[in-house]
Amino acid sequence: MGTYEATSPADRGSGPLGTRPGKIIAVHLSYASRAEQRGRRPAHPSYFFKPSSSIGTSGGTVERPAGTELLAFEGEIALVIGTTARWVKPDQAWDHVAAVTAANDFGLYDLRAADKGSNVRSKGGDGYTPLGPGLIDARDVDPSSLRIRTWVNGDLVQEDTTAGLLFPLRQFVSDLSQHFTLEPGDVILTGTPAGSTVVSPGDVVVVEVDVPGTSASSGRLHTTVSQGIRSFSDIGSQPEVDEKQRAEAWGTPVEAPVEEDAPALSEELRAKLLRAPVAGLSAQLRKRGLNNVAIDGVRPNLPGSKVVGTARTLRFVPNREDLFKSHGGGYNAQKRLFDSVGAGEVIVIEARGDKGSGTLGDILALRARYLGAAGVITDGGVRDFDAVAATGLPVFSQGAHPAVLGRKHVPWDTDVAVACGGATVLPGDIIVGDDDGVVVIPPSLAEEIADAALVQEDEDSWIAEQVGQGRPIEGLFPLNPLWRERYEAWQKKQ
């Protein structure tokens, strides 16, 4: 490590480094929470450069140029290279990092269109990369245990850990060293989690990197937004803003595309399915050759409840410690789904039939209930079982279990095909559950199945009434021609 010495800030242009870095390399998209918000998940990291003149120090200002509106902050963990790195392997990469500190990767979305992914003008402004105020010795920390937090005017707006990264910190160093030499003092900005948004003149943005439970901290990096008085001239690209840029700058989540011809669950159809018993729906599905649409082994936490809705899916894979470290913490797939479920939707969880841990608890149930979810179906266990029931959210599961998720599962991905209780469930499938169980209905058949089940329910009710009056089952159940004639005559009178 020892060839790079961190010193106190010497001037505004060096931050806590003592001298300006030769290179500042920034990662485009690196946190799962941010990827979910943007609606895309990269397979590999991508990068852009920032000029060393963009470095700033704690207590400084960042200017929003006149004639612009979309200056956004991005709290980030910055790595300071300590020894020359070229073609280093991932398991050796951290040895080339001298220090970790807080950074704020400010960007002006009004200028993104001009340079697209290079971000030359949108992120290259003077003071657009404040660092510090202090440095954490990289030798003293586990790179997988760091936390990033950002406050705006005292309100916490970003919080995540390196467990929420799509790629480990070591990978950035190793990957970049394949392409060019990383030199002492170079800085790598490792991306921002969800929560980045637009700030205005007078706002104060504070960023801190630390290791929870220890004294290791960068200190709090303070930056005040100021209003510029000079506008850009016509010698170059002018600021340009559209609704997409506004949405991304403000941090509006990207909605998943919906096929235009996808059958919707109308209120009329929902009402029919609420009336139709699951047993009757199952019978109608079987008549049409669908014998593998029952989610087996699950029971409702609220007896007598009925669930009808379209499926949002969540897949857990078997716990593996390294995978839980990379995918189980932070704003993971489970939290993202419970935070985005829509009114009338049913969360369906694939837990591989393993009831040896909880797959949700009362906090997630409260969130889903608040957002109007119709219910949750899981072929695993439920933690805080009574508290979940007290929320009023119908949950079908294999029962209670006190263990947390990580004992058995890693939350892996959402809105994909899953296998729950032996049934395949696709996003958008229609889910219906009652005390008899849960069935999965292909959307294209739902109207037909509901109508047929209601017709059969009326018929069965009439038959039950006849049997209750002492008539024998033979010829009555199912209806023979004579009894069918009597039933149809009764129907006409209704």
Distance of CA 438 to CAs 115, 334, 349, 420, Å? Answer: 52, 22, 13, 10
Q: Which amino acid is at 279?
A: A
287: three-class secondary structure by DSSP: helix
Confidence class for position 9, pLDDT limits 50, 70, 90: very low
Q: Is 482 exposed, middle or buried (0-12, 13-18, 19+ CB in 10 A)?
A: exposed
Q: How confident is the model at residue 4 (pLDDT cuts 50, 70, 90)?
A: very low
pLDDT tens digits, 259-313: 444 446 899 999 999 999 999 999 999 999 999 999 999 999 999 999 999 999 9
For residues 330-338, give the mean pLDDT.
85
Highest mean pLDDT among 240-244, 248-252, 333-337 belongs to 333-337
Task: Tell me what pLDDT residue 80 has.
Answer: 97
**Is the CB of residue 396 less than 8 Å from the CB of residue 299?**
yes
Rg of the chain taking only CA atoms, in angstroms: 29
Residues 6+ away with beta carbon under 8 Å from 170: 90, 91, 93, 94, 143
Q: Among 30-44, 198-212, 429-443, where is mean pLDDT lowest?
A: 30-44
- How much is the mean pLDDT over the chain? 89
Q: Which two tokens stand for residue 396?
A: 């079908």
Which of 399, 374, 404 is CA-nearest to residue 386?
399
Give the residue-averaged pLDDT of 359-363.
Answer: 92
Tally of CA atoms within 13 A in the half-sphere of 408 that contains its CB? 23
Which has more confidence, 239 or 308? 308
In this prediction, residue 466 has a pLDDT band, given cuts at 50, 70 and 90, of: confident
DSSP string, 3-23: T-------STTTGGGSS--S-
Write the CB contacts of 110 (distance below 8 Å, at least 6 apart in sequence).
68, 69, 70, 122, 239, 240, 241, 245
Q: Where are the alpha helices (DSSP H) in 145-260?
A: 169-177, 243-250
Q: Is 291-441 a domain of CATH 3.50.30.40?
A: yes
Q: How far from 334 is each of 1, 161, 339, 465, CA to CA, in Å?
A: 38, 16, 9, 47
d(CA 175, CA 418): 33
As a whole number, mean pLDDT of residues 63-91 equals 95
CA distance 449 to 276: 9
Number of residues written out for the chain: 494
Name the residue type at position 23. Answer: K
Flag whether pLDDT at 257 surpasses 50: no
Decide if 191 contacts 28 (C-beta within 8 A).
yes
d(CA 455, CA 464): 14
Measuring CA to CA, which residue among 372, 11, 341, 27 is closest to residue 167?
27
Percent of all residues in the chain with a pLDDT value above 90, rounded to a whole number: 70
pLDDT digits (tens, 9 = 90+) for 156-198: 999 999 999 999 999 999 999 999 999 999 999 999 999 999 9
Amino acid letter at 115?
D
Task: Report pLDDT for 494.
Answer: 72
Mean pLDDT, to the nearest integer, of 53-67?
A: 94
**Which residue is associated with the tokens 């894979």?**
317
Q: What is the mean pLDDT of residues 379-385?
A: 94
Q: Are strands 375-378 and 395-397 parallel, antiparallel or unpaired?
A: parallel
Q: What is the dihedral of CA 452, 443, 416, 291, to 10 degrees?
A: 30
Select from 276, 268, 267 the least CA-distant residue to 432: 276
- CA distances from residue 153 to 24, 134, 223 in whole angstroms, order as listed: 27, 21, 11
| Confidence category of residue 146, pLDDT binned at 50, 70, 90 | very high
Q: How far apart (Å, rounded) are the C-alpha atoms in residues 12 and 19? A: 10
Share of residues in the chain with pLDDT > 70 (%)? 93
Q: What is the pLDDT of residue 264?
A: 61
Known binding-site positions for substrate: 361-364, 383
Asked if residue 2 has pLDDT above 90, the reply is no
Whether residue 478 has a cis bond before it, omega within 30° of 0: yes
Instruction: Mean pLDDT check: name the lowest of 209-213, 318-322, 456-460.
Output: 456-460
Structurally, at CATH architecture level, domain 24-250 sits in Alpha-Beta Complex (3.90)
Per-residue confidence (pLDDT) for residue 116, from 0 to 100: 74
Instruction: Tell me whether strands 129-131 and 418-420 are parallel, antiparallel or unpaired.
Output: unpaired
Q: Is 240 left (phi over 0), alpha (psi -120 to 50) or beta?
A: beta
Residue 216 reports pLDDT greater than 50: yes
Q: Is the dihedral of CA 378, 380, 384, 387 positive or negative?
A: positive
User: What pLDDT is recorded for position 12?
Assistant: 45
Q: Kind of pairing, strands 418-420 and 345-350?
A: unpaired
Residue extents of the structural domains in the chain: 24-250, 291-441
Least confident of 85-89, 91-95, 218-222, 479-483: 479-483
Q: What confidence score (pLDDT) does residue 254 get? A: 52
Name the percent of the chain in helix, strand, coil, to the closest 5.
Answer: 30, 30, 45
Instruction: Report the run of H or E that residue 456 belongs to, with start and end.
Output: helix 446-468
Q: Which residues are annotated as a binding site for Mg(2+)?
A: 384
